[in-house]
C-alpha cells in the first residue's frame, strides 16, 4: 500500500480551470443591472460601474483623426516647400540647337605642377555644352597637359574645375567615362599597320567591352552587330570620312592616309562611344590652309551636334566659342616630360 507522500510525489496532469458558461457574463450583468437601477440618483451603484464612467474619453478617435489630418497637411506643406526651395542650375546653358548631351566646363585658377615646375597655371574657362573650346599656345606651353587634365587623364595640382558637374580631381574616373580622346600623340595614336576597317571594328569592340552596359551582352548577336554598324556609320558621318573615297577603300592602311584623313579617322573612333566631351590635340599641325579650314569645320559640326570639343592648336579659329591661351615659358622640356607621363 502506497503512502500518501508517494502519491503526491507523482507528476499530476495539470488541471485546466473549468471554462465559464457562455452566458455566465450575461447572467452577472443581468444581476448587477437591477442593483444599479435601484441606487439613488447621484450615488454610484457599485464599484463595478466605475470603469464604465472612466472609459468615457470618447473624443480620442476624433483627436487621432485630427492629428493624422494635420500630419498629412504638414507633409504636403513640407513637400511644396521642398519643391519651392529646390536649387536651380546657374551654370552655362547649351547654345540653341545643341543637344543636351554635351558637357559644360568651368575652371578657376586651374594648374598642374610637374616634377620640375608648372606645366600650366592660373587657367580659367566657362564653356557651355556644345561649345568649341580652343586651347591656343606654342608647343611646350603645357597645352596638352591642360587637355588631359580637363578630360580626367592627369591630376591637377591647383585650383578647381568641373566637367558636366563632376569636380576634378575627385571625379577623374567619372570624367574619363564621359570623355574621349581623338588624336593625342603618345596617348591615342593610330596603328600605322592597321587598315581603316580594322580600326573601326576594334573601336566598336572596345566600346562594347569597356563602355557598354553588361545587359547588352545578353542581346542577340545580330542586334549587337546592327548597333555597332549604326554607331560606326554615325561616327564616320560626323567626322566627314567616306571610306569608299579612300585609295583602297576600307582596306587602306593608316600609313597611306593623308594628315586630314587620319585626323578624321581619329575623331570617328572617338565618337563611336558617343562621348559628351571630345578632346583633340595638334589640330592644325602639318595642315595646309584648305585642310586646316576643313578640320575646324568638322569640329565645329561636331560641336553643333551637342558634343563639347576641346581642341589644341597654334592659332584658334575665329568661330571658336572660347579660347584658352597658354603662355610659353623656358621649361618646355619639363612640360614635354609631364605630357609623356600621361601615356
DSSP-derived secondary structure for 200-266: HHHHHHHIIIIIS-GGGGGS-HHHHHHHHHHHHHHHHHHHT--GGGSTTGGG-BGGGS-HHHHHHHH
Q: Is the pLDDT of residue 331 over 50?
A: no
What pLDDT, in 10s, does the model give residues 23-34? 545 445 544 444
Say what the pLDDT of residue 215 is: 62
Tell me the average pLDDT across 103-125. Answer: 93
Distance CA 39, CA 300 (A): 102
331 inside domain: yes
Q: How confident is the model at residue 114 (pLDDT cuts 50, 70, 90)?
A: confident
Q: Could you give the C-alpha distances from 200 to 11, 20, 190, 220, 275, in angstroms and in order?
A: 90, 90, 11, 21, 16
9-40 CB burial, b ≥16 within 10 A, e <16: eeeeeeeeeeeeeeeeeeeeeeeeeeeeeeee
- The total of structural domains in the chain comes to 1
Q: How confident is the model at residue 227 (pLDDT cuts 50, 70, 90)?
A: confident
Q: 183 near 191, Cβ under 8 Å?
A: no
Burial class (CB in 10 A: 0-12, 13-18, 19+), 91: middle
Q: Is the pLDDT of residue 241 over 90?
A: yes
Tell me the average pLDDT across 147-156. Answer: 96
Q: How confident is the model at residue 304 (pLDDT cuts 50, 70, 90)?
A: very high
43 inside domain: no
Q: How confident is the model at residue 61 (pLDDT cuts 50, 70, 90)?
A: very low
What pTM, to 2 d.p., does this model score? 0.66
50-59, 155-164, 291-300: lowest mean pLDDT where? 50-59
Average pLDDT of the chain is 75
Instruction: Report the CATH number that the domain containing residue 304 is assigned in CATH.
Output: 3.40.50.300
C-alpha cell of residue 253:
592602311
Distance CA 132, CA 301 (A): 10
Query: How many other CB atoms are found less than 10 A from the CB of residue 321?
Result: 17
Residues spanned by the domain of 215: 105-341
Q: Is the pLDDT of residue 9 over 50?
A: no
67-71, 188-192, 226-230, 322-326: lowest mean pLDDT where? 67-71
Amino acid at each position: 500500500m502506497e503512502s500518501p507522500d508517494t502519491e503526491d510525489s507523482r507528476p499530476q496532469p495539470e488541471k485546466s480551470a473549468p471554462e465559464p458558461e457562455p452566458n455566465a457574463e450575461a447572467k452577472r450583468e443581468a444581476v448587477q443591472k437591477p442593483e444599479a437601477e435601484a441606487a439613488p440618483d447621484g450615488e454610484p451603484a457599485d464599484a463595478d460601474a466605475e470603469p464604465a464612467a472612466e472609459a468615457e474619453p470618447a473624443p480620442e478617435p476624433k483627436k487621432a483623426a485630427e492629428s493624422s489630418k494635420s500630419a498629412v497637411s504638414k507633409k504636403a506643406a513640407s513637400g511644396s516647400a521642398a519643391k519651392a526651395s529646390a536649387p536651380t542650375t546657374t551654370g552655362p546653358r547649351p547654345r540653341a540647337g545643341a543637344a543636351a548631351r554635351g558637357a559644360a566646363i568651368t575652371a578657376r585658377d586651374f594648374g598642374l605642377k610637374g616634377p620640375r615646375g608648372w606645366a600650366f597655371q592660373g587657367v580659367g574657362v566657362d564653356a557651355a555644352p556644345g561649345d568649341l573650346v580652343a586651347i591656343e599656345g606654342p608647343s611646350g606651353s603645357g597645352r596638352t597637359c591642360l587637355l588631359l587634365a580637363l578630360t580626367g587623364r592627369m591630376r591637377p595640382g591647383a585650383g578647381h574645375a568641373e566637367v558636366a558637374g563632376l569636380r576634378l580631381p575627385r571625379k577623374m574616373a567619372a570624367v574619363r567615362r564621359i570623355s574621349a580622346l581623338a588624336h593625342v600623340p603618345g596617348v591615342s595614336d593610330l596603328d600605322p599597320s592597321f587598315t581603316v576597317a580594322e580600326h573601326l571594328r576594334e573601336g566598336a569592340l572596345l566600346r562594347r567591352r569597356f563602355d557598354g552596359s553588361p545587359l547588352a551582352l545578353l542581346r542577340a548577336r545580330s542586334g549587337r552587330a546592327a548597333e555597332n554598324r549604326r554607331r560606326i556609320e554615325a561616327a564616320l558621318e560626323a567626322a566627314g570620312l567616306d571610306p569608299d573615297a579612300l585609295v583602297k577603300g576600307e582596306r587602306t592602311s593608316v600609313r597611306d592616309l593623308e594628315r586630314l584623313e587620319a585626323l578624321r579617322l581619329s575623331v570617328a573612333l572617338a565618337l563611336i562611344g558617343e562621348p559628351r566631351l571630345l578632346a583633340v590635340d595638334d589640330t592644325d599641325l602639318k595642315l595646309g590652309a584648305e585642310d586646316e579650314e576643313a578640320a575646324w569645320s568638322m569640329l565645329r559640326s561636331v560641336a553643333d551636334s551637342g558634343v563639347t570639343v576641346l581642341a589644341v592648336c597654334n592659332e584658334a579659329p575665329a568661330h571658336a566659342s572660347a579660347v584658352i591661351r597658354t603662355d610659353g615659358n623656358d621649361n618646355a622640356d619639363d612640360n614635354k616630360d609631364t605630357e609623356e607621363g600621361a601615356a
